[in-house]
Structure 1
Amino acid sequence: MSIHAFKMQLKPGVVAEYRKRHDAIWPELSALLSEAGIFDYSIFLDEETLSLFAVLKLRDDNRRDTLPDHPVMQRWWDYMAPLMEVQPGNQPREWPLPLLFHMD
């Protein structure tokens, strides 16, 4: 198992809509993430900067690298693109966050 943390960026005025869409996450997306070896996934908001901080755990045999090519993932990114900073293809821009401290 490994832990992956990264930052994303919301656009102004979309926090409520972002929360609403994640509260109603598509079952097929949730299943896809689980099948790719992702579990215990949380996203936190810095309300002052609108930065999102994501932390997820990955199984050792994860296939997270296959997600960008999956049609369900691509549809989700298209759905979320109006709310976030994205790359070409609507994948959210991610900034990795290095681990500085962990306490079990």
Structure 2
Amino acid sequence: MIKKAFRMKLFSGYEQEYTRRHQDLWPEMRQMLKEHGAHTYSIFFDAQTNDLFGYLEIEDEQRWQEVAETAINQKWWHYMADIMETNPDASPKTIDLKHVFDLG
């Protein structure tokens, strides 16, 4: 299993909306993530900085990279673009975090 972590930035005042949208994650988005090898995917919010911390475990890096090209993912990016920092293509601005420790 490959472990990945990253940071994103939520616009101030949108924590509840971000949470609501993820609680109502579209079934086809959930299915696509699983089909592309995501076994676990969690997002945490830091209220002091408005940072989002994402953690996931995937099967294959190349297969995971294909997520960005799916129609449902493109639709999700545009749906989320009004409440978080994004790139010109509506993808969230992310900072990959380096894995440095595991307890087990």
Length-normalised TM-score, structure 2: 0.95
Structure 1 ranges of 4+ moved more than 3 A: none
Partner in structure 1 of residue 53 of structure 2: 53
- CA deviation string 1:61-102 (max 9, x = no partner): 761111111110000000000011000110001100111211
Once superposed, what is the RMSD of the aligned Cα atoms?
Answer: 1.1
Q: CA deviation at 1:60?
A: 3.6
Output the amino acid matched with 2:22.
H
Any idea what SS the aligned residue of 1:8 has?
strand
Output the amino acid matched with 1:51.
D
Output the amino acid matched with 1:79.
Y
Q: Which runs of 5+ in 1 are unaligned?
A: none
Partner in structure 2 of residue 83 of structure 1: 83
1:62–1:34 Cα change, 3 Å: farther
Q: Which runs of 5+ in 2 are unaligned?
A: none
Output the amino acid matched with 2:44.
F
Report if aligned partners of 1:38, 1:62 keep a CA contact under 8 Å in 2.
Answer: no
Length-normalised TM-score, structure 1: 0.95
Partner in structure 2 of residue 24 of structure 1: 24
Aligned residues: percent identity? Answer: 38
Partner in structure 1 of residue 37 of structure 2: 37
Pair 1:14 & 2:36 matched: no
Report if aligned partners of 1:11, 1:83 keep a CA contact under 8 Å in 2.
Answer: yes
